[in-house]
Copies of this chain bind each other. A is one copy, B any other.
Amino acid sequence: MNDTFLKACRGEKVDYTPVWIMRQAGRYLAEYRAVRGKADFLTMCKTPELAAEVTIQPIDILNVDAAILFSDILIPCEAMGQGLDFHEGKGPILGPPIRDEDTVKKLFVPDPEESMGFVMDAIRLLRKALSNRVPLIGFAGAPFTTATYMIEGGTSKGFLHTKRMIYENPALYKSFMDKVTATITEYLKAQVAAGAQAVQIFDTWGGIFSPADFRMHALSYVQQIIKDLKEWMQKRGETVPVIYFVGSTAGLLEEIKTSGADVFGVDWRINIDDAAKRLGGDVVVQGNLDPLSLFLPKDKIEENVKDVLSRASSARGHIFNLGHGVVPETPRDNVIALVEMVHRLSKK
């Protein structure tokens, strides 16, 4: 088994820097688009065979060191009782938006196997299909990032409704977040029980806060999840690493280091050596190439890869990744080349 990724997560010595890519199962691959042509996005998420198929594609095509379950961070929102739909080119629509006591009250904390069993089925299917070629990463949205979609009713530019709830009605926000946090905790446990070998918590929008507000309104819920998950794992004798990824982290690193995570995802807006230093130095970092720098010619991509590898060598461990998901327009060849470069240039 290629366990380089898991070793790196634990801060152990590795022969080369492992690499996977956020949204590696995505539209930049013709093979993905072929599957997507047969089923809409949500159907793909809910059909374990299709989800497993596109999860495995980048393992074969890119030679990455980990698979990440194909799914969406908004799956638990539907399970909590909110309507969820994806419109082509428009992004997700969630309804009704959660903005008052009534809508919060109607939400429930679902049993993940009952209401999101298709995710766990996909994990079980994938563990068999991968038969230990590479580890499988499960994931969930962090409570705050998940909540923004539920409050705004979809994507947002300014997060006005979310921040209004937080600032105008903090008690309502807290009662809502307690439900979201409980849901995501149980969801991650179910993923680990089904066979996920690492989990990543995505806090894509965590960076819209001041440090104090981030700590109080986003991080505190992630800390709860990680603590709860780790205690639960300890009882079961499991040591599945937890990766915490926050977007626009540069002002928040001193907060993020208290999350309890094993690995810290870093976006491209800061040098990864500075990030590692501010996270405490002796940490495992994941990142952090600008996804759009994959439009550079290959020799320039290689310069950037060298730079990230060299900077990240100051940390205890490094998992190479982009600083955010790969975009659909990305030249597939450059993504394949990226993985090859990371492996070649980091070889000990």
* A residues apposed to B, CB below 8 Å: 157-160, 163-164, 167-168, 207-213, 248, 250-252, 268-271, 274, 290, 292-293, 295-296, 300, 307, 327, 329
Whether the Cβ atoms of A167 and B293 lie closer than 8 Å is: yes
Partner of A210, one of B208, B210, B271, B327: B271
Extra contacts besides A158-B327, A163-B295, A251-B271 (15): CB < 8 Å: A158-B292, A160-B292, A160-B327, A160-B329, A163-B292, A164-B292, A164-B295, A164-B329, A207-B269, A210-B270, A211-B270, A213-B290, A213-B293, A248-B248, A250-B252
Q: Report chain B residues within 8 Å CB of A248.
A: 207, 248, 250, 269
Q: Report chain B residues within 8 Å CB of A250.
A: 248, 250-252, 269-270
Partner of A292, one of B159, B292, B293: B159
Whether the Cβ atoms of B269 and A210 lie closer than 8 Å is: yes
Listed by A's residue number, 17 A-B pairs whose Cβ atoms lie within 8 Å are: A159-B292, A163-B290, A163-B292, A167-B293, A167-B295, A167-B300, A168-B296, A209-B269, A209-B290, A210-B268, A210-B271, A210-B290, A212-B307, A248-B248, A248-B250, A250-B269, A251-B274
What is the distance, in angstroms, from A312's C-beta to the closest C-beta of chain B? 14
